[in-house]
Amino acid sequence: MCDKLCILYVYCFFRGGGVSRCFAVWILLLISVFAYAETPLLWNQPASRQHCPTGDDAVWVHYPEGNACMRYFSAGNLQAAPLAVVILKGDRVSQIKRPPATIPGNTAADQRRQARAILRQTGLPTIILARPGTYGSSGNHYHRRQAEEFQAIDAALNAIKARYGIQRFILSGHSGGATAASALWTSTARCSLPVPGEYSSGRSACKTVTLWHRHWIPPGCRIRGIPLTTSAGSPPIPSD
């Protein structure tokens, strides 16, 4: 985001805006970005194309049951990444009726901090994908673990994959997030990498999914020669 603001500043300058004017505009934009990052994320909201953020942390998707604005929070370089970790958190039903400002970890900045912590553990680009109805994604979290949720997540992964040119995903889910990951794994558009001790499928597909149903990545695992540096007991899925 800061890189884009710098580009805007340079563009403003060369368009004749002047140093002082462009710098003032740049400061205002920077303040707005940080204010936006600290705004509590909304829960259980209807899908609205008009209110779906247009930045790098949301995708507007279509799927058989309807549309969705799906939020995601990333760390690391996703562009043309050969492999990226996708985190699907567990059920958060107890949080639905709480005021957004009182929900732990309920800002974009908080979620990105969690993604950076996972990046440090795994050494891989990381995406925390908010399940429908949670952490800013549209939808009804009371309808979790149903086909509509799985379709929305599937469409979001396709959109993110296309946006960055990501080759394969590692899908890591806990509780209801693991249920969603399992639904994607068993669909005809998925396959999983052969990881010792984990499930795998022989189907070939455009997107690759590996599931960890526990809270941590088994130590010493390698995915086609890529070592995962997470040690046993270090949870890649934040508990907020």
Burial class, 102, CB count within 10 angstroms (exposed 0-12 / middle 13-18 / buried 19+): exposed
Q: Which range marks the domain in which residue 165 is found?
A: 58-227
Residues with Cβ within 8 Å of residue 204, at least 6 apart in sequence: 191
In a domain, residue 23? The reply is yes
Question: Same domain, yes or no, for 206 and 98?
Answer: yes
Whole-number pLDDT of residue 10: 53
Low-confidence ranges of the chain (pLDDT < 50): 1-2, 5, 9, 26, 30-35, 188-235
> 219 φ, ψ to 5°?
-65, 145
Q: Are 72 and 128 in contact (CB under 8 A)?
A: yes
Whole-number pLDDT of residue 211: 45
Instruction: Check which CATH number belongs to the domain holding 185 and give it.
Output: 3.40.50
In a domain, residue 121? The reply is yes
In a domain, residue 24? The reply is yes
Q: How far from chain centre, in Å, is Cα 201?
A: 24
In a domain, residue 232? The reply is no
Q: pLDDT by residue (tens digit) across 69-123?
A: 999 999 999 999 999 999 999 999 999 999 999 999 999 999 999 999 999 999 9
Domain count for the chain: 2
Question: Same domain, yes or no, for 11 and 96?
Answer: no
- Distance in angstroms (rounded) separating the CA atoms of residues 155 and 47: 14
| Whole-structure pTM value | 0.70
